[in-house]
A and B are shown apart, each in its own frame.
Chain A
Amino acid sequence: MSASGHKGLETDEKHIMIAATTGENSKRAAMYVANMLGGLPGFRVTIYSLISVPPDDFFESGDERDEWIGKEKEQVDEALAQMLEVCLQAGFPEDKVAVVSEAKRCASASDCLIEEAMKIKACTLVVGRRGLSKREEFQFGSTSTKLIHDAHDCAVWIVE
């Protein structure tokens, strides 16, 4: 897996950020980007995994919290490795694909993804749709729906 951050930054490059989770939807997002842009010059990709950490009150102790994050990270790292492989096999040079994972408190996943996209100056944010039912979306929220409404200054690709 390549180190986080990019080498050889070129100002006219288009920067694509793929949001990663442990689900199949993220792999679909990576495959879509790989098929569309793999091997083309002028693009670089950041595969970004946000591990949204519950509030401290959710845990009985700091150790329990650390253990929770460790387990999540283990699963996410596996998914990130697969997504990286998809991009590399599609022809992205190694120095044009970065993998970043971050564990933090985040009230809204979409807000944090937009914040990260702005921070790394991504022009396009790609997420895989999870295919929630309306009931699930009503009760728990949908990151992709919220991204469509809230993202400014960057394009959003929702991959089915």
Chain B
Amino acid sequence: MDQAHLREKIAAHLGSAKVPRRLRVLSDTSDFFRVEYDDVLLLEGRSLFIRHNEREGRFGIDEQPKFWVRRAVDLEDGSLKVIKMVFHERFTAKCGAMTYECVRSSSKEAHILELVEGHNRFMQGVSMHDSAGNCVRVIDYIRGASYPQYVSDLCEDHEEYYFKHLPGLLEEFVELVEAIRFLHAHDQTHGDIRRDHIIREKDTHICKWIDFDYGCFHPENQYVYDMAGLANILVFLTGGDDVTVQQLERDRPGVFGALDAWDMNIIFKNRVANLKKVYPYISDDLNYMLLHISVGARLFYEDTGQFIEDLGLALEGMRASQ
């Protein structure tokens, strides 16, 4: 496609004011820092007009730019895409006495995108190869709210949230867990299950998993790391937000005084997992699930089947009591 044609396409989709004076056309993304705003990236005959970096907030740190992830406009139809270029990371992580290897793998994400094509609980996209053979993922941009923000906004008063909103949220969460079960059944893992890796699509109101390129290898059991992520999201959903000892000490000293070490979240030591001590109307069945992520737990969820079964029981009880 020649420059004149590309300029026409940009003008058609974004308006003539957005057509850059000097248009640079790239086809090799090996050095992703060279791919800049207003460039056109050619991938297997498709032309993508590069826009801003994507950003990711994590662990309370300000949003971090992800230089290998760019927004782009597909000049064929004007749709907004997320372009993920190859950034292969491999490192050894440590948790207590355990060390384990982690990777950021473009091929993992490409395989999952292929597997979940048409599945409404996952982001959609395709992988394409650039002129240097790099596996670039071209992902449909999801317009919508981040899941944690959506949930937190619903929870102004916890009791009202619990009875009015939580059953619906949990029904949707079952669908999200079913989606992870689908991955596991195909020998894949999400690899980085966090609440901010779910987006609630604005038009459909459907929550979708995003970002599957990360993976850690756990020889004991490939799936438990995903299970730990799901359990953490369930605690967040039930509380409507993180319930921390600092908040309780400040706002509800009586409840704070009744907590013991066993009630805390096994991963995040300042968060309460045994939420029934904070909100006594939480059903026993639901709280039983939360106890699986408490310091006092003796059993943990090892697969999505166990988790969905218990979640179904908890939901049934909540519906029956309404």
Contacts and interface: CB of A to CB of B under 8 A. Distances in A.
B221 interface: yes
A143 interface: yes
B302 A141 contact: yes
Interface string B183-223: 00001100000000000000000000000000101111111
Interface in A104-123: 105-110
Contact of B220 (A133, A134, A135, A140): A140
B218 A138 contact: no
Interface string B84-107: 000010000001111011010101
B108 interface: yes
Nearest to B231: A138
A143 B220 contact: yes
Contact of A57 (B101, B107, B218, B219): B107
B221 A140 contact: yes
B49 interface: no
Contacts of A108: 220-223
Nearest to B295: A134
Counting contact residues on chain A (CB < 8 A from B), the size range is 20 to 34
B23 interface: no
Contact of B108 (A52, A55, A146): A55
A133 B297 CA distance: 12
A139 B226 CA distance: 8
Contacts of B293: 138
A57 B266 contact: no
A157 B113 CA distance: 43
Contacts of B97: 131-133, 136
Contact of A138 (B105, B107, B187, B297): B297
A107 B187 CA distance: 8
A105 B187 CA distance: 10
Interface of B: 88, 95-98, 100-101, 103, 105, 107-108, 111, 187-188, 215, 217-225, 228, 266-267, 293, 295, 297, 300, 302
In the complex, the 3 A-B pairs of residues with the closest C-beta atoms, listed nearest first: A141-B221, A57-B108, A52-B219
24 contacts: A52-B219, A58-B103, A58-B105, A58-B108, A58-B217, A107-B222, A109-B219, A109-B220, A110-B220, A131-B97, A132-B96, A132-B98, A133-B96, A135-B267, A136-B95, A136-B96, A136-B97, A139-B224, A140-B95, A140-B100, A141-B221, A142-B220, A143-B221, A146-B221
Interface string A22-65: 00000000000000000000000000000010111110100000
Given A134-B295, A136-B97, A141 B103 contact: no
Contacts of A135: 95-96, 266-267
Give the interface SS of chain B, mostly helix, strand, loop or mixed: loop
A140 B88 contact: no
A66 interface: no
A52 B220 CA distance: 8
Given A54-B217, A57-B215, 7 more contacts: A58-B217, A107-B222, A110-B221, A136-B96, A139-B224, A141-B300, A146-B221
Contacts of A13: none
A109 B221 contact: yes
A57 B228 contact: no
B224 A140 contact: yes
A139 B221 contact: no
Contacts of A132: 96-98
